[in-house]
């Protein structure tokens, strides 16, 4: 019972509502309160990552101990996998808040912005920590509703249309999840993930079991924007203010979409080969289609949003390959390699996609346009933005020595070793198309001749924005150190272990 675990949810909640009250009376304080909240959260999440190590700890609010091995009450679980996601949530959140100090100066209602931001962080932390499926739904909705409001923060035509699409599809997804939770409670008579697993492992649920899996995959797939359900993502992520785009694309779709899919399908359901093949197909499909849709875009943020779909495809596909290998029950070391690659790519994507959206925001801030055809020659006037975006572009397209290269390499190696030659080739081809697409971005934005359409002098953006961009670029380089043996075992291996060892996850809750 580590008392720091509930604080990860309680502190951003308190920060959000204190911001609302104090922001009314003291102007200018909300930004510093949000900054302080996120600093504390970053400290706590890294402390838990370092101190926790391979051991996972369980916390029960209210102190409800299990009775005869049957868990009652709500469980908060902090293990290797959730520790990593918590760290990326707080780091990207902290850098986005730093960035917003200058960027949001042109918007009004500062206290609402930072309050909703903290609320979104609280929801995501809750989703990641929760070990109870209904609790996941509640926190999912907290983060979703605050992100609907944040997408619409500009209240112009485009923002409102984007948030409408996002809300309608998000609400459909939420109700599918709620219906699936109803089915689960009906079949298993419990809501705890570990206990549901014990109940389901006795078998005999037939069609209900498949229906639950399909409903949950559709619901969280809509939240994660894997390909047949991706319609809302490009609009929402391109219309939001840039720090929020970085949060949505860098963290939110992972914390409430990918993380929950991986957690539920590895730790709650028995892995079946059919479902594993379905997940792998969806991942490969979003990987390929996302990048093909991205290549024709001229709106910078929309291009980045489509790349998010494609990169999330890598994560889903590698998790799916791991699931197929585990379902066949052979070569578990290759399955572990594939899952490690997926988790590593998830961390890397948070860093470089966050950085790319912050760069896009910086360009929009300085030049006032998002259309690639109207930019040009920005490398001279914005040297820091240009160099950090070069780092991010090389990283997302998988050029060594940046982090994206290593995670893609691990995924492709795992696919080849698992004899999925087609998927490995597809991943390599998608990576090349990504490179082409980002060469287009670099060329049109920074190195082309000046188009002269902007019609004002372009200056480098203010210091807080530069600070967060440079920090993220450094993180992009530093994350590639995770591939080194020694560091990999302490950081990535516990996450893979908890996903592979299904009995361990349930035993730490039921105590059996």
Partner 1 sequence: MKGMTVIVKKTTQLIAGIIFLYGIYIILHGHLTPGGGFAGGVILAGSFILLILAFGSDFMHLLKEEKGSTIYENLAILAFLLLALTGLLAGGKIFFANWLPHGTPGELVSAGFMPLYNIFVGIEVAASILTIFLALVIFKEEILK
Partner 2 sequence: MTVYRLCFILFLTGLYGVITRRNLIKIAISLSVMEFSCFLFLALIGYRDGGVAPIVDMADPVKPYVDPLPQAMVLTAIVIGLATTAMLMAVIIRIYRKYGTFDIREIKNLRG
Q: Is 59 helix (H, G, I), strand (E, B) or coil?
A: strand
Query: What is the spatial distance between Cα 115 and Cα 13, in angstroms, rounded to a whole number?
Result: 9
Query: What is the spatial distance between Cα 327 and Cα 169, in angstroms, rounded to a whole number?
Result: 32
**8 Å CB contact between 227 and 288:** no
Closest CA to 303 of 257, 364, 234, 243: 234
| Residue 328 contact partner, candidates partner 2, partner 1, none, CB within 5 to 8 A by sort of partner | none
Beta bridge pairs of residue 299? 371
Residues 6+ apart with CB under 8 A from 86: 8, 45, 48, 49, 78, 125, 128, 129
**CB-nearer residue toward partner 2: 162 or 367:** 162
**CB-nearer residue toward partner 2: 97 or 191:** 191
Q: Which of 1, 231, 478, 487 binds partner 1 (CB under 8 A)?
A: 1
**CB-nearer residue toward partner 1: 62 or 206:** 62
Q: Which of residues 9-28 bind partner 1 (CB under 8 A)?
A: 10, 13-14, 17-18, 20-21, 24
Residue 6 binds to partner 1 (criterion: CB under 8 A): yes
Segments of 362-436 assigned E as strands? none
**CB-nearer residue toward partner 2: 76 or 152:** 152
**Residues in touch with partner 2 (CB under 8 A):** 134, 137-138, 141, 145, 148-149, 152, 155-158, 160-164, 167-168, 171-172, 174-175, 178-179, 181-182, 185-186, 191, 234-235, 238-239, 296-297, 299, 302
| Residue 205 contact partner, candidates partner 2, partner 1, none, CB within 5 to 8 A by sort of partner | none
**CB-nearer residue toward partner 2: 47 or 175:** 175
Query: What is the spatial distance between Cα 286 and Cα 217, in angstroms, rounded to a whole number?
Result: 14
In the complex, least distance from residue 20 CB atom to partner 2, rounded to whole angstroms: 16
State both tokens at 64.
Answer: 């409800």
Closest CA to 111 of 12, 212, 29, 42: 29
| Residue 62 contact partner, candidates partner 2, partner 1, none, CB within 5 to 8 A by sort of partner | partner 1
Q: What is the dihedral of CA 378, 383, 385, 390, to 10 degrees?
A: 90
Q: What is the CB neighbour count within 10 angstroms for residue 499?
A: 28
Q: Which of 40, 46, 57, 61 binds partner 1 (CB under 8 A)?
A: 61
In the complex, least distance from residue 480 CB atom to partner 2, rounded to whole angstroms: 34
**CB-nearer residue toward partner 1: 45 or 187:** 45
State both tokens at 167.
Answer: 């809300």
| Residue 134 contact partner, candidates partner 1, partner 2, none, CB within 5 to 8 A by sort of partner | partner 2
Instruction: Give me the residues that bind partner 1 (CB under 8 A), please.
Output: 1, 3, 6-7, 10, 13-14, 17-18, 20-21, 24, 59-63
């Amino acid at each position: 019972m580590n008392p720091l675990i509930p604080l990860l949810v309680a502190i951003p909640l308190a920060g959000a509502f204190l911001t609302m009250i104090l922001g009314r009376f003291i102007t200018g304080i909300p930004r510093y309160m949000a900054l302080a909240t996120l600093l504390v959260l970053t400290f706590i999440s890294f402390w838990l990552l370092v101190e926790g190590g391979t051991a996972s700890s369980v916390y029960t609010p209210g102190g409800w101990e299990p009775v005869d091995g049957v868990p009652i009450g709500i469980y908060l679980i902090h293990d290797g996998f959730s520790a990593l996601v918590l760290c990326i949530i707080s780091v990207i959140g902290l850098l986005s808040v730093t960035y917003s100090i200058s960027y949001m100066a042109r918007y009004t209602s500062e206290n609402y912005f930072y309050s909703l931001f903290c609320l979104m962080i609280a929801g995501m932390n809750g989703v990641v920590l929760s070990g109870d499926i209904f609790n996941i739904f509640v926190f999912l909705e907290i983060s979703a509703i605050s992100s609907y409001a944040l997408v619409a923060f500009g209240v112009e035509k485009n923002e409102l249309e984007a948030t409408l699409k996002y809300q309608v599809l998000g609400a459909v997804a939420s109700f599918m999840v709620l219906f699936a939770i109803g089915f689960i409670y009906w079949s298993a008579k419990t809501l705890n993930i570990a206990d549901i697993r014990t109940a389901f492992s006795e078998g005999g649920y037939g069609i209900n079991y498949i229906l639950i899996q399909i409903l949950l995959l559709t619901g969280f797939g809509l939240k994660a924007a894997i390909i047949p359900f991706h319609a809302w993502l490009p609009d929402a992520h391109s219309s939001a203010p840039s720090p929020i785009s970085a949060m949505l694309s860098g963290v939110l779709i992972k914390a409430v979409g990918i993380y929950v899919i991986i957690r539920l399908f590895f730790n709650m359901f028995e892995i079946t080969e059919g479902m594993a093949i379905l997940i792998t197909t969806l991942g490969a499909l979003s990987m390929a289609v996302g990048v093909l849709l991205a290549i024709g875009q001229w709106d910078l943020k929309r291009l980045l949003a489509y790349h998010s779909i494609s990169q999330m495809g890598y994560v889903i596909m590698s998790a799916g390959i791991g699931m197929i290998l585990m379902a066949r029950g052979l070569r578990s070391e290759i399955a572990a390699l594939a899952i490690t690659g997926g988790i590593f790519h998830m961390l890397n994507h948070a860093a470089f996609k966050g950085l790319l959206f912050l760069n896009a925001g910086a360009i929009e801030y300085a030049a006032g346009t998002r259309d690639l055809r109207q930019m040009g020659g920005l490398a001279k006037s914005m040297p820091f933005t240009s160099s950090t975006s070069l780092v991010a572009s090389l990283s997302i397209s998988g050029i060594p020595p940046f982090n994206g290269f290593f995670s893609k390499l691990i995924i492709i190696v795992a696919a080849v070793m698992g004899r999925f030659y087609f998927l490995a080739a597809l991943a390599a081809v998608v990576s090349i198309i990504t490179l082409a697409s980002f060469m287009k971005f670099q060329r049109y934005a920074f190195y082309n001749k000046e188009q002269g359409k902007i019609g004002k002098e372009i200056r480098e953006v203010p210091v807080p924005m530069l600070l967060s961009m440079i920090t993220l670029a450094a993180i992009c380089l530093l994350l590639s150190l995770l591939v080194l043996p020694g560091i990999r075992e302490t950081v990535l291996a516990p996450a893979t272990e908890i996903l592979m060892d299904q009995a361990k996850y349930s035993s730490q809750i039921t105590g059996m």
